[in-house]
Amino acid sequence: MEAPSTQQNSLYAIIIYMDAIITLDIGGTNTRCAVFHTEQDDPVLIDRTATTTENEIAIERIAQIIEKNWPKDRQVLGIAAAAPGSVDVVQNKIILAPNVPGWKDYPLGDLLAQRFGVKVLVNNDARMAAVGEWKRGAGRGHNDIVYFTVSTGLGGGVITGGQILHGALGIATELGHIVLQDDGPACGCGKFGHFEAFSSGTGIHNYVSQKIKEGSPTALKSPSPNTKEIAEAAMVGDALALEAFNRAGYYLGIGVANYLHIFNPSCVIFGGGVSQSGDLIFKPFRESLEKHVLSPTYLANLKIALAELGDNAGLIGTYEYIKQNL
Amino acid sequence: MEAPSTQQNSLYAIIIYMDAIITLDIGGTNTRCAVFHTEQDDPVLIDRTATTTENEIAIERIAQIIEKNWPKDRQVLGIAAAAPGSVDVVQNKIILAPNVPGWKDYPLGDLLAQRFGVKVLVNNDARMAAVGEWKRGAGRGHNDIVYFTVSTGLGGGVITGGQILHGALGIATELGHIVLQDDGPACGCGKFGHFEAFSSGTGIHNYVSQKIKEGSPTALKSPSPNTKEIAEAAMVGDALALEAFNRAGYYLGIGVANYLHIFNPSCVIFGGGVSQSGDLIFKPFRESLEKHVLSPTYLANLKIALAELGDNAGLIGTYEYIKQNL
């Protein structure tokens, strides 16, 4: 950038440098809030508050954290929120958020816009994390990306031809909710045999709990161990725990092969807690992927990477998203 | 359009009206060739020649039908070909065409461009049919379309956010090749339990043939009846034939539900011979779709329609595709 050469240019620079954007990442446990100065890529502050499942209080909490962090010396151009569940991105309305029971057809965008008098956009949290990784993380420079977040559930987002995949209403890329096995285990959504029911943390947990109930030998003490406990047991060679990760990785390979055939991405990214399990899940995943892919061409120039932005992917992705749509 | 007001404008009008585009639809049995005048939507002629599976002869046959129909009084702006199998749309090269054994990494685009000295584009036939239906058929006015061709195989194409889904190389939207049931029947591609192995004509045929071999009672005379014979038997109440269509429709519902969750389209279109079977396949399909869809929101404003352009979808789609890319 050239140095300002006249007083007028300096003044102009000061004016454009006074904008800010506020982004939110509403999670099951915490709601995080970031303030960005539009001349910078990284947030100037990140704050958090507890998410509550009570409808009225939830919106008050969100409004409070925005008010608390509202920049005094800058013009706020807009607020963008990443929310869990199905989001109607045309109306900026939460259709259904499994972790916030009161939020059914909930007009979060309109409520915040009325309160703060600025443009508000609401989008799905996994999709916003995908945008973050695309613009600033492991997907930089790629136009065709499939991003998976493998944690309690299994969600994701897709960039295709340099464009964010939304679908007609914004409820596309429910990547965890495709049937891989019709007579498979129950999914959190109430259906059966979904990708999420096999390869998410909940899928691993449910499988181990069921096997313990059936009397499978294991060093695990709890009758209902969490994913972290199962990973630790697998690390020291517990057969049941290893079997659970092998199974999750095997289905992860099937699911990802499906998505290579559907999207032919040049980059696949894994975020979320379960994807921190290393070879435990990625060794069986790679074997299964190679077995299930239609042709080696899909793998030839494919980057497979872990997410780089960690917890901030959603806050950063939401910032990049609203910048594109102001 | 305003009437030309000066001689110069008239001359300009004459020049732009002298362009033509040639499109090809290369099928397993026939290669069809259409000539379009760029001021019109419909082709001025359609010709055909037999496709041969011999590599050298195949390209000669294609060149001959182009030469035969090359317009004498117009400038040809380009040639666009719809080809079966995997097509690298960046290099206009056929990666693999199951019905033309010699065509492996076959530079069809370069060969035709060298021969005719014009721009040549090559793309997948099902994708081009999808483009045809989007621009001129059942998908007019929609920005988010999933198109399925259900015939011998099961292929398709996707329009998302008003953009044709190609993927990094152009080998995306292999919609028939996703695993629905890991331990399911063999697919034509060599893998198991694919959508195509359940719901295509070949899937129906294989299921019935296997059941006859196992001794299932049926009025069907042939030990290996084709889809048309099975449909006729189902129409007069043959239990095995009905079971075969119910099964194909059931898995069609699972597959389409998967794609609603992935793409959230506003329009789903069915082309291909099997989709002419009416309620035989679409009644079990609808029941299964309603059972497997994550939320009624996916169906609320969804148009589900049969393809409108018939055999010409590929020729017309390819014309619309090259017009966008000249």
Say how many C-beta atoms besides its own lie within 10 A of residue A288's C-beta. 21
CB < 8 Å to B297, chain A: 86, 95, 169, 171
- For chain A, 326 residues long, give each residue's pLDDT as a single digit of tens: 444 444 555 555 555 558 999 999 998 789 999 999 999 999 999 999 988 767 677 888 999 999 999 999 999 999 999 999 899 999 999 998 876 777 888 999 999 999 999 999 999 999 999 999 999 999 999 999 999 999 999 999 999 999 999 999 999 999 999 999 999 999 999 999 999 999 999 999 999 999 999 999 999 999 999 999 999 999 999 999 999 999 999 999 999 999 999 999 999 999 999 999 999 999 999 999 999 999 999 999 999 999 999 999 999 999 999 999 99
Pairwise CB contact (< 8 Å): B144 & A168: yes
Instruction: Report DSSP letters for B202-257, one per residue.
Output: HHHHHHHHHHHHTT---S--SSS--HHHHHHHHHTT-HHHHHHHHHHHHHHHHHHH
CB < 8 Å to A173, chain B: 262
Q: Return the pLDDT at A52.
A: 78
Q: The tokens of B88 are what?
A: 């690298």
Identity of the amino acid at B70: W
Topology, domain B7-130+312-324? Nucleotidyltransferase; domain 5 (3.30.420)
Of A163, A170, A179, the CB nearest to B254: A179
The residue ranges of every structural domain in chain B are 7-130+312-324, 139-307
Say how many C-beta atoms besides its own lie within 10 A of residue B191's C-beta. 20
Give the Cα separation of B58 and B268 in Å (integer).
Answer: 34
Say how many C-beta atoms besides its own lie within 10 A of residue A31's C-beta. 22
Report the residue of A95, A154, A180, A294 to disrupt the B interface, i.e. the one with the largest count of B CBs within 10 Å.
A294
One fold for A7-124+312-324 and A138-307:
yes
Of A168, A174, A266, the CB nearest to B266: A168
Give the Cα separation of B167 and A238 in Å (integer).
Answer: 41
Class for the domain spanning A7-124+312-324 = alpha beta
Q: The tokens of A82 are what?
A: 């990443």
The residues that bridge with A124 in the sheet, in sequence order, are A83
Nearest CA in chain B to A258: B178
Report the residue of B90, B95, B154, B177 to disrupt the A interface, i.e. the one with the largest count of A CBs within 10 Å.
B177
User: What is the end-to-end Cα distance of chain B in Å, rounded?
Assistant: 22
CB < 8 Å to B254, chain A: 179, 182
The answer to whether B17 touches B71, Cβ cutoff 8 Å, is no
- A interface with B, Cβ–Cβ below 8 Å: 86, 95-96, 142-144, 160-161, 163-175, 177-182, 189, 191, 254, 257-258, 261-266, 292, 294-295, 297-298, 301
CB < 8 Å to A172, chain B: 144, 160, 261-264
Say how many C-beta atoms besides its own lie within 10 A of residue B199's C-beta. 28
Class for the domain spanning B139-307 = alpha beta
- Closest Cα to residue B149, out of B128, B135, B170, B166? B128
Per-position b or e across A78-108, b if 16+ CB within 10 A of its CB: bbbbbbbbbbbbebbbbbbbebbeebeebbb
Pairwise CB contact (< 8 Å): A96 & B179: no
Pairwise CB contact (< 8 Å): B178 & A175: no
- B interface with A, Cβ–Cβ below 8 Å: 86, 95-96, 142-144, 160-161, 163-175, 177-182, 189, 191, 254, 257-258, 261-266, 292, 294-295, 297-298, 301
Of A144, A165, A171, the CB nearest to B168: A144
CA A289 to mean position of chain CA atoms? 22
Give the Cα separation of B18 and A39 in Å (integer).
Answer: 51
CA dihedral B257, B262, B268, B270 (to 10 degrees): -70
Output DSSP code: residue B311: G
The answer to whether A83 touches A97, Cβ cutoff 8 Å, is yes
The residues that bridge with B104 in the sheet, in sequence order, are B96
Identity of the amino acid at A312: N
Of A144, A265, A297, the CB nearest to B95: A297
Pairwise CB contact (< 8 Å): B262 & A265: no
Residue with tokens 């019905």: B99
- Closest Cα to residue A137, out of A322, A324, A314? A314
CB < 8 Å to B262, chain A: 172-175, 178, 262
- Closest Cα to residue B227, out of B246, B212, B241? B241
Task: Give the angle subtended at the CA of B127 by the CAs of B124 and B129, to the nearest 5°.
Answer: 110
**Run of H or E including A268:** strand A267-271
CA distance A222 to chain B (A): 31
Q: The tokens of B164 are what?
A: 């044709």
Say how many C-beta atoms besides its own lie within 10 A of residue B307's C-beta. 22
Give the Cα separation of B123 and B90 in Å (integer).
Answer: 9
Q: Max Cα separation, chain B?
A: 80
Nearest CA in chain B to A268: B168
3-state SS class at A272:
coil
- Closest Cα to residue A259, out of A169, A143, A161, A174? A174
CATH 3.30.420.40 fits A138-307, yes or no: yes
Q: Return the pLDDT at B239.
A: 98
The answer to whether A103 touches A85, Cβ cutoff 8 Å, is yes
Pairwise CB contact (< 8 Å): A295 & B175: no
Q: The tokens of B44 are what?
A: 């001025």
Say how many C-beta atoms besides its own lie within 10 A of residue B90's C-beta. 11
Report the residue of B158, B174, B195, B198 to disrupt the A interface, i.e. the one with the largest count of A CBs within 10 Å.
B174
Pairwise CB contact (< 8 Å): B182 & A180: yes
- Closest Cα to residue B204, out of B159, B242, B167, B155? B242
Task: Give the angle subtended at the CA of A53 by the CAs of A59 and A199, to the nearest 5°.
Answer: 120
| Contacts with A322 (C-beta within 8 Å, 6 or more apart), sequence order | A21, A23, A77, A78, A79, A80, A119, A121
Indicate the burial class of A181 (C-beta count within 10 angstroms; 0-12, 13-18, 19 or more).
buried
CA distance B254 to chain A (A): 7
Pairwise CB contact (< 8 Å): A265 & B165: no
The answer to whether B94 touches B108, Cβ cutoff 8 Å, is yes
Residue with tokens 């090749």: B177
Q: Return the pLDDT at A3.
A: 47
Pairwise CB contact (< 8 Å): B294 & A191: yes
- For chain B, 326 residues long, give each residue's pLDDT as a single digit of tens: 444 444 455 555 555 558 999 999 998 889 999 999 999 999 999 999 988 777 677 888 999 999 999 999 999 999 999 999 899 999 999 998 877 777 888 999 999 999 999 999 999 999 999 999 999 999 999 999 999 999 999 999 999 999 999 999 999 999 999 999 999 999 999 999 999 999 999 999 999 999 999 999 999 999 999 999 999 999 999 999 999 999 999 999 999 999 999 999 999 999 999 999 999 999 999 999 999 999 999 999 999 999 999 999 999 999 999 999 99
Compute the count of residue pairs across chains A and B with CB atoms less than 8 Å apart: 130
Of A164, A180, A264, the CB nearest to B168: A264
**Side-chain half-sphere CA neighbours of B108 within 13 A:** 37
Per the document, the length of chain A is: 326
**Run of H or E including A81:** strand A75-83
User: pTM for this one?
Assistant: 0.93
The residues that bridge with A122 in the sheet, in sequence order, are A81
| Contacts with B325 (C-beta within 8 Å, 6 or more apart), sequence order | B121
Q: In the β-sheet with A93-96, what is the strand arrangement from edge to edge?
A: A86-88, A93-96, A104-106
Q: The tokens of A11 are what?
A: 């003044």
- Closest Cα to residue B204, out of B174, B232, B182? B232
CA A46 to mean position of chain CA atoms? 18
Pairwise CB contact (< 8 Å): A173 & B262: yes
Of B177, B294, B295, the CB nearest to A261: B177
Q: The tokens of A280 are what?
A: 């435990």
CB < 8 Å to B292, chain A: 179, 191
